[in-house]
Amino acid sequence: MAKVLCVLYDDPIDGFPTSYARDDLPRIDHYPGGQSTPTPRDVDFTPGHLLGSVSGELGLRRFLEERGHTLVVTSDKDGANSVFDRELPDADVVISQPFWPAYLSPERIANARNLKLAITAGIGSDHVDLDAAIAADVTVAEVTYCNSISVAEHVVMMILSLVRNYLPAHRWASEGGWNIADCVARSYDVEGMQVGTVAAGRIGLAVLRRLKPFDVRLHYTDRHRLPRELEEELGLTFHPSAAEMVPECDVVTINAPLHPETEGLFDDTLIGSMKRGAYLVNTARAKICDRDAVDRALRSGQLAGYAGDVWYPQPAPADHPWRTMPHQGMTPHISGSSLSAQARYAAGTREILESWLDGTPIRDEYLIVDKGGLAGTGSHSYSTGSSTPAK
Ligand code: NDP
């Protein structure tokens, strides 16, 4: 029988919801490109309910306990005496979300003597030291595509919010003001702007597609070029590197994975090469940007705005400069954890567990590490010997 250790974010401060703003979710069977949404044999949760917090338990308890397995759910993941560290040594499976990552460092993997499977309930397994997972023969799987469109929608929202100065204007209204000049003194139209994405994978391409109707000029850089028909359909300009793209852009969105090529990419030099007053939106990973360089650029006016939902570490400390720097639209790490996304990644986690417990293959597109090497999606998106060390 397996012990499954699941690390989830805390319940809402007012308690676990007993009712919801909406009664249902749209039914989505396939992602763009044709991959099917998760296909577990069954689920024990109501899609649209809060599943990603401790009491939501990703809807897994009944499924696991009816089969005789043990489920331990905690949000206490950091510090020497955390519940996570105490429960890890005999856990067979660890489940964690990038929003509230249980960092699986080499030391923790060494302590997890029974660990066979690490599931990311979401996308992005950079909180797992993949080299250590490979060495320990731990399978790493994530729910590929589950929240890519959720993030793309968030990116578009953040671009519009920054450029149009939405958040400060909303603050004036809720605080009782009617200060139109204060609201509009930093407000522009997106129409006609040059907008570029660093990476045009699932999220980056979805952002480009969503921005096309705004009559902007679209740019991208990526390790591989998109098909020519797609470039023509969206009117895309390809640039061989971020360094060549960003000086041309009014808005830059980062949609690349964190790995050595991208870690610290947006430093003083690259940000300094952007147009004065450009906007930067990063929902990929915080460490792609130099924390203090972003702060300096907002204070000097080199950047007109920065928004994103990714921080390092997570949760961010109360004194993290990105909480208080000017002209920012930061949120906690939420873009990929809408109730819509949660229904997909809870179902995907269940699908992965069903396969693993039954001894049947996990979908190739969900695999990052398997049988002592990168596998499936992992062999395309990650590289061995070069993972950015987990915290
Ligand atoms: P994909 O794997 O679909 O796309 C990533 C793209 O990045 C690929 O096209 C890849 O190129 C490209 N790439 C890799 N390295 C570079 C580089 N150095 N320069 C330019 N392009 C590069 O991933 P997704 O679009 O689904 O997700 C992207 C990232 O977003 C994830 O890695 C994750 O970190 C983050 N994310 C954030 C979430 C959130 O909640 N905020 C939720 C989900 C993801 P190629 O494959 O051609 O080599």
Task: Read off the pLDDT of residues 345-381 as tens digits, 9 standing for 90 and up.
Answer: 999 999 999 999 999 999 999 999 999 999 999 998 7
Taking only the tens place, the pLDDT of each residue in 256-289 is 998 889 999 999 999 999 999 999 999 999 999 9
Candidates 222, 238, 288: which one to mutate for ligand 1, based on the most atoms within 8 Å of Cβ? 222
How confident is the model over 318-324, as a mean pLDDT? 98
Ligand 1 near 59 CB (within 6 A): no
Nearest CA to ligand 1 atom 1: 201
Residue 327: the pLDDT is: 98
Domains in the chain, number? 2
Question: Which residue among 147, 203, 312 has the greatest number of ligand 1 atoms within 8 angstroms of its CB, and so is best to mutate?
Answer: 203
How far is the C-alpha of 268 from the C-alpha of 190, rounded, in Å? 25
Residues of the chain with pLDDT > 70, as a percent, come to: 98
Distance CA 16, CA 22 (A): 16
Place of tokens 């391409």: 205
Give domain status of residue 52, yes or no: yes
Assigned domain for 390 exists:
no
Residue ranges for the known binding site are: 123, 147-148, 202-203, 222, 257-261, 283, 309, 333-336, 381
Is 306 part of a structural domain of the chain?
yes
Stretch (H or E) spanning 237: strand 236-238
- Of all atoms in ligand 1, which is nearest to the CA of residue 144? 26
In a domain, 391, yes or no: no
| Tens of pLDDT, residues 194-237 | 999 999 999 999 999 999 999 999 999 999 999 999 999 999 99
Same domain, 175 and 204: yes
Q: Provide the mean pLDDT of the chain.
A: 96
240 in a structural domain: yes
270 and 211 assigned to the same domain: yes
Helix (H) / strand (E) containing 370:
strand 367-370
Q: Assess if residue 388 is contained within a domain.
A: no
| Ligand 1 contacts CB of residue 47 (under 6 A) | no
Which CATH number covers residue 95? 3.40.50.720
Instruction: Calculate mean pLDDT across residues 24-47.
Output: 96
Can you tell me the distance from the alpha carbon of 214 to that of 160, in angstroms, rounded to the nearest whole number?
A: 10
Structural domain boundaries enclosing 370: 3-146+337-375
Q: Which atom of ligand 1 is nearest to the CA of 206?
A: 25
Closest CA to 370 of 352, 391, 388, 386: 352
| Statement to judge: residues 217 and 198 lie in one domain | yes
Q: Show the tokens assigned to 317.
A: 């400390």
Both 20 and 163 in one domain: the answer is no
